[in-house]
Structure 1
Amino acid sequence: MSERTILVWFRNDLRIHDNEILLEAVRKADKVLPVYCFDPYYFQKNASGSPKTGSIRARFLLESVADLRKNLRSLQSDLIIRIGNPAEVLPQLALEYGVNEVYHHREVAHEETDVSEQVETALWKIKLNLKHFIGHTLYHKEDLPFPIKDIPDSFSIFRKKTERESAVRPVLDTPDVINTPTINDAGELPTLVQLGLEQPVDDARSRTRFIGGETNGLYRLDQYFSEDIQPNAGKSTRSASKLSPWLSLGCLSMRQVYWAAKSHHSDALVLELLWRDYFRFMFKKHGTKYFNAGDSAVENDAPGDGLFEKWKCGNTGVPFVDASIHKLNATGYISNFSRQMVASYLVNDLEVDWRRGAAYFEEKLIDYSPASNWGNWAYVAGIGRNARDDRYFNTGKNLNELDIKGDFITRWLPSTPAGQSPLAQTV
């Protein structure tokens, strides 16, 4: 009997722990062929000449793929790396290595699902099956207390019913060893130049440099729970987890973070995970609605209009908005509260189409994920918002949450008249 070989197509699941497609392939096949493909589509430039994926975000991705290869090699395996259209690359590799089936994790955003459909069609032509797995959410779809089409649009209702009637599954095992076919050409990790990008220059004001990969993600998770707990209005609290960059690329497992949070009684972190689930299920339920609905474009919002240019360059004259955008451009990361503030200002004050801001965040954010990014922007624009959920997105809340002493604020904050708060323009 001939050996069975399964190709594991890594996308946004760049880890070896709690990875269902990897573990299932190891259990079902004699040989496992791990593959990652850098799709040129995600590095193309838009009509204005800006890249779909910016250099800081791309560097984090390259670091994550490199770490995945290192971790696979520690299990006596390897990672084949290619640059090209997956619908062309994967069938070629499947034929070269005598693959019997291809595994991958299902996505929900239309660009990613389109790629999956193209791959599925191409594989079908050579009589191979693309098997879909569900592995990006905290709660498995089959464990929800309602079918996808009936998921409540209100986050509050979704949260209460899910937490009351569903359970998060345990973390899966990590393979001890992975048997891989003899690889003739594993391929080299591309450079940023090969992807059409420039090397980013790290800003001296940034206190944190996010480094991609499962190894650093697990380190950050452990570091977060070892940090000193700070008192806050009579309660004990930790700073923001800053785990989203590793969660977005699947360097960290949602379930592993959840069980770590539960063991440390971190309700705030569990809430973060629930919001990620909510937006992902909303994408599954509504499809392209988030992209097409709520067109808030106005007459002065033309491609060459200065309002959006001032916003994305941090030249609006509003101190906190400008400082947040400068930090985003320099580091690829700002807090969730800052994101809500700058998004609300673009949509509600400047009256610029929210989709332009969402596309800009797609380029810049190192923790970009389609559902969370476009879902958040749609929420700010009022699409699908429930009044009971506004407390999470209220941009006028708690001015003491605004960091007026941070390096980016003090660098870009203009002088203000005596006795007037420099943040007066933000509310």
Structure 2
Amino acid sequence: MAGGRSAAIYLFRNDLRLHDNECWNLANRLADYVIPVYCFDPTHFQPTWHFKFNKTERHRAKFLVESVQNLKNNLQTKSSDLIVFKDVPHRALQDIMSSCASGQVPVNAVIYQKEVTYEEINVEAKIKDLCEANKIKVHEIWGSTLYNLQDLPFKVSQVPDTYTNFRKDVESRARVRPVTQEPAQVKPLPKDVILNSHEIPSLTDLGLKDLPAQDRRTAFPFQGGETTGLHRLNEYLWGTNAVATYKETRNGLLGTNYSTKFSPWLAHGCISPRFIFREIKRYEKEVVSNNSTYWVIFELLWRDYFRFVCLKYGDTVFYRTGIKGREVEDWSKDLAKFRLWAEGRTGVPFVDANMRELKETGWMSNRGRQNVASYLIKDMGMDWRLGAEWFESYLLDHDVCSNYGNWNYAAGIGNDPRENRKFNMIKQGMDYDPNGDYVRTWVTELANIPGGKIHVPWTLSSGELERYGVSLGENYPKPVVVAPEWSKHAQGTNNKQNYRGGKGGGQQRGGGGSGVQHRGGGTGGQQRGIDFYFKSEKSGGQGGEGRGSGGPRGGGGSGGARGIPRGGRVQY
């Protein structure tokens, strides 16, 4: 043994940063040498569980590769390096342990950030088995949330089943820990040990096709990595002061600054939620403190909430019946029908625009996610897991707890106390894209339709459609589903009475043609013109903090003394 020296292995996972990183600090305290490792786990690029989509599509894979490369560069500036494997973690660690033993520098510790869901826990179990067999101590560190698990004012089994109660308890009875400083001295790699590091893979190495040039329309033109993430945080707060108007802009659809865009860096651990919190608090002290600055923190709490919910309920978040154990008999798994949604060919322009943006860029706004989820489940009647796995595949910012927690929520089998919430696609489009600029950006075949008419092309006369160069069923699809409650708002876009909701099964004139399916409603009576609908007036009113319960132009209640935002998927 080389002077009795030892090494610690730090396995990076969804914590691809050096700032505010307790794992990194601990590794540098535990041993004479530190071996930073990242594994491109082949299981992350296999098909999804139920419907066999690519688990990681190209946009997120590119962001991941960029993030790992940036981490490697940052380690090299500290006279260290990142050892990269394209293998499952326990085999990679076994290889390193064998190399260290051969170089007479035994491994005395393995450190990693603790995760909470099924596949990630299985990875941890195999690492623990390996380390137990080699008498190596494992250190699991909680590091992904704003509030540390140990600081919650309740046991995991008592995590509240509504976000409002969770938020109130945590804000009043817990504290956010200070940001952890980087180690004063970074321990080197063991110089007498041959480590079999691989090159950082390309997309083709990972079994994916290369991406074309970045789409100029994207609202997320950023690269992955800690350096870029910290720069974005600095620009959003101190460079542009955009954070001071987050309340007014967060439901936007076009451009880079309508929202923070922090979520992809948070999902990969390139930026720490506690560091964001610290910077927000500094901004509030030095510039302005208002509802907008608070709402960013509010959204970080949603992210925490879904992680703690997954910790409480375990695998049930992935079950068809969700954490509520609620069975819905008529959810369809018709993949041909689902593909119309996934590819942006439903014939409902606001839905199609959002789905095309996701497929082309890996990004979709908060407002878009809530709407397309509602449409898939409540209008098309599809199994929510189709949407969850599609988002898992395509989203740049996929976080397993936030994604599946949100889809449980949207399907009425999760933490939403109002399980019958249903969004009105036409009102949502008219509220958040009143002139149709967003739809026009992504659904280019409708680009000639002026103003709000673009949201309801099936209500236009044959003459109008011909004038605008649109042929429904040919260069743009007829709508798969038309919900009765859309009629009031569809009439408002055209100032015509050519839309028929009423009792299910009605037809539209002027190009809508036959074969348009109607869902929901049934009585023909119109509910109030709000952002979302309930299947029964008796199932609850508006108000509170329910996610997606309208926006600044919706009909929700006040939500609290500070003007707490209604809605708010964990998406910035």
What is the SS of the residue equivalent to 2:18? coil
1:373 corresponds to which residue?
403
2:437 corresponds to: 405
The structure 2 residue matched to 1:331, chosen from 361, 377, 385, is 361
Compute the displacement of 1:204 (Å): 3.1
Could you say what secondary structure the match of 2:36 adopts? Answer: strand
CA 177–230 in structure 1, closer or farther in 2 if over 3 Å, else same? closer
Greater mean alpha carbon deviation, residues 389-398 or residues 42-51: 389-398
Distance 1:384 1:206 in 2: 31
Which of residues 279, 303, 315 is equivalent to 1:288? Answer: 315
Corresponding residue number in structure 1 for 2:228: 216
Deviations 1:84-119 (A, max 9, x none): 111211122123122111000100111111111112
User: C-alpha offsets along residues 202-228 of structure 1, whole Å, 9 cap, x if unaligned?
Assistant: 223225422000000000000111224
Would the alpha carbon gap of residues 235 and 341 (structure 1) be closer, same or farther in structure 2, given more than 3 Å must change?
Answer: closer
The alpha-carbon distance between structure 1 residues 213 and 393, as it changes in their structure 2 partners (threshold 3 A), is: farther
Distance in 1 of aligned mates of 2:402 and 2:451: 40
Q: C-alpha distance in 1, partners of 2:10/2:120?
A: 17
CA distances 1:147-187 after superposition (whole Å, capped 9, x unpaired): 11001010011001100111000000112442221263432
Aligned to 1:227: 240
- Name the structure 2 match of 1:8: 10
| SS, match of residue 301 in structure 2 | helix
**Quick check: 1:297–1:352 contact (8 Å CA) kept in 2?**
no
Match of 1:270 among 282, 297, 300: 297
**CA 1:112/1:80 → structure 2, altered by over 3 Å: closer, same or farther?**
same
> What is the Cα deviation at residue 236 of structure 1?
9.3
User: Is the CA contact (8 Å cut-off) linking 1:324 and 1:342 kept in structure 2?
Assistant: yes
Determine helix, strand or coil for the equivalent of 1:41. helix
Partner Cα distance (1:280, 1:419) in 2: 39
198, 206, 225: which one pairs with 1:187?
A: 198
- In structure 1, the residue matched to 2:208 is 197
Aligned-residue identity in percent = 38
- Aligned residue among 368, 382, 400 for 2:412: 382
**Structure 1 residue 57: deviation in Å?**
0.6
State the distance in 2 between where 1:392 and 1:160 align: 26
Amino acid at match of 1:44: Q
Displacement of 1:58: 0.3
Hey, what's the Cα distance between the residues in 1 that align with 2:408 and 2:329?
A: 13
Are the counterparts in 1 of residues 246 and 295 from structure 2 also a CA contact under 8 Å? Answer: no
Matched, 1:251 2:270: yes
1:29-75 Cα offsets, whole Å, 9 max, x none, are 21111000111001113576631100111010000000000111111
- Counterpart selection for 1:260 from 279, 287, 291: 279
1:401 Cα offset (Å) = 2.5
In the superposition, relative to structure 1, how do residues 297 and 66 fare at CA in structure 2: closer, same or farther (>3 Å)?
A: farther
Q: Is this contact kept in 2: 1:104–1:132, CA < 8 A? A: yes
CA contact (8 A) 1:43 1:52 kept: yes
Instruction: State the shift of 1:122 in Å.
Output: 2.1
Contact 2:374 2:423 survives alignment (8 Å): no
Q: TM-score, normalised by structure 1?
A: 0.92
Q: Which residue of 1 aligns with 2:30?
A: 28
- Structure 2 distance, partners of 1:122, 1:234, is 49
Runs of at least 5 residues in structure 1 that lack an aligned partner in the other structure: none
Rounded Cα–Cα distance in structure 1 between residues aligned with 2:394 and 2:247 = 36
* Residues matched between the structures, number: 425
SS in 2 for 1:198: coil
With 84-93 and 44-53 compared, the bigger mean Cα shift is at 44-53
Give the match for residue 543 of structure 2. none
- 1:322 aligned residue (352, 359, 366): 352
Deviates more, 1:140-149 or 1:39-48: 39-48
What letter is aligned with 1:381?
Answer: A
**If the length of structure 2 is used for normalisation, what is the TM-score?**
0.69
Q: Which residue is equivalent to 1:45?
A: 47
Aligned CA-pair RMSD: 2.8
SS of residue in 2 equivalent to 1:6: strand
For residue 410 of structure 1, report the CA deviation from its aligned partner. Answer: 5.4
Letter in 2 for 1:401: Y
| Superimposed CA distance per residue, residues 260-318 of structure 1 (whole angstroms, 9 cap, x where no aligned partner) | 1222231121011000000000000000111112454637524xx32201000100011
Match of 1:150 among 152, 158, 182: 158
CA distance in 2, matches of 1:93, 1:27: 20
